[in-house]
Amino acid sequence: MNFKLTELNYVKHMRTLFIISCAIVIIGLGILFFRGLNLGIDFASGTRVEVQTETQVSQQELEAAFTEAGVNESISSIQYADGGSLANVTFVGQLSQDEVASVKTVFTETFGSDPNISTVSAEVGRDIARNAVYAVALASLGIILYITFRFQFSYALATVVAMLHDAFFMIVAFSIFGIEVNLYFVAAILTIIGYSVNDTIVTFDRVRENIQAYEKERKIKSMDVYRDIVNTSIQETIVRSVNTVITVLVTALALYIFGAESIRGFAVALLIGLVMGMYSSIFIASYLWLMLKKLTINKKKQATPAPEA
């Protein structure tokens, strides 16, 4: 396996895969426009009711209890814990004080315990969504500044575009499968951003080292040399990237299988994001860097005066 990975010509397929990725982004925008996201109550106005029972209750029993309490909002999700004796019921719609009191009365009589009820207003949900966008924006700005200082602006721009590509792909995947978007999803986005940037920087650091080693002997004058250097750098780092992703994927898969229902969305986001992070560092970030380098070379050629006849 290592031999095959380190012998592949990655640069050869970059343009095709980059075009495919651009097409997926366009299709993804359409999916988001028509389907939207399944926002949890962390981002939309909603209510969470935590019910402690002696035995696991069905959704029909819970719906009947809500109907008896005069609550007409449909249940968004039910998550069980403690062997099914603890049920967390969420639904879109903020309960009034009278409805909260009615639910407490009915659930206490029906299930023998006083439910814990928490609500999130639409304003709070908007604040959480706004802060999540600010977090990603500030992370992007910080990454651009740091990589520009440590490398060059071309490296920084390619890294951030690849990072945003990974985040967008996860958002589209959640839209397609209707997975609930909550605070765990935001945590997963920020986690994947870290992995994506780390993987890209490892590749770019090797690219820079190989460029410096090449320029000690002669000056780089053509794009073919840059392509060969990028391909060699990917070959030298691909095994490390694959091993890192596989290691974390095992952990994410364990979270999905054995973890609570509430963190399965987080595990799914990690599973998707880790694979996309490795893909984007090779076929998005590296390709964009080559394109930026090509633009720089073309500008230098145009700025160089033609020799006199």
CA 152 – CA 144 distance, rounded (Å)? 9
Put simply, whether the predicted model's pTM sits higher than 0.85 gets the answer no
User: Is pLDDT of 288 > 80?
Assistant: yes
Question: What is the pLDDT at residue 263?
Answer: 77
Using 50, 70 and 90 to split pLDDT, how confident is the model at 1?
A: very low
Looking at residues 39-45, what average pLDDT do you find? 72
Tokens 């990454």 sit at which residue? Answer: 143
What tens digit of pLDDT does each residue of 213-231 get?
888 878 877 888 889 999 9
Give the DSSP letter of residue 37. Answer: -
pLDDT > 80? residue 247: yes
What pLDDT score was predicted for residue 272?
84
The Cα–Cα gap between 4 and 13 comes to: 16
Q: Which two tokens mark 100?
A: 């909260």
Rg over CA atoms, the chain = 25
d(CA 12, CA 99): 63
Backbone angles phi, psi at 42, to 5 degrees: -70, -25
Q: Within 13 Å and on the Cβ side, how many CA atoms surround 28?
A: 18
What is the pLDDT of the chain when averaged over all its residues?
A: 81
Euclidean distance between the first and the last CA atom of the chain, given in angstroms as a whole number: 56
Q: Distance (Å, rounded) from C-alpha 189 to C-alpha 170?
A: 8
Q: Is the pLDDT of residue 265 over 80?
A: no
Where does the pLDDT of residue 287 fall: very low under 50, low under 70, confident under 90, or very high at 90 and above? very high
Q: Tens of pLDDT along 138-165?
A: 888 888 888 888 888 888 899 989 988 9
